[in-house]
Structure 1
Amino acid sequence: MGWKVHSFVRRTNTTKATLDLDDFTQALVRRNLLGHDKYVSGIESGTEVFKGTGRLDTEAYSVNIG
């Protein structure tokens, strides 16, 4: 569809995280990857194994807006 995808990779292991989407969008704006006139149409959470083998069990995933 021609949509741009921007991925952020977490570098530490954790069992729980609370993240502010504004931190990510502002980082993209600072890097000139997202214009001030654009908006986020979706978010995803998941894992990719980059080396070797791995497993991730997700017990919960939620988003609060507002």
Structure 2
Amino acid sequence: AGVSVDMLRGGDRTKRACRHRHEVMLRLKEETDLSLPAIGRLLGGRDHTTIMNGIERAKAKREAAQ
């Protein structure tokens, strides 16, 4: 199932949207040199602390899946 850029950038707080958004946050941090504020700007103007939280949630989800 595809996820739109609008869903990732928007305020959709459904479980599906948040799960994908958190994974994007983690991948952007791992695969680019972008700062947390820069990632936040890409994802709809989110605060760097929101990005930190999303990254931690995505990491926990990955670890639980192993």
Is TM-score (shorter-chain normalized) higher than 0.5? no
Query: If the length of structure 2 is used for normalisation, what is the TM-score?
Result: 0.28
Highest RCO, 1 vs 2 (Cα 8 Å, sep ≥ 6): 2
Query: If the length of structure 1 is used for normalisation, what is the TM-score?
Result: 0.28
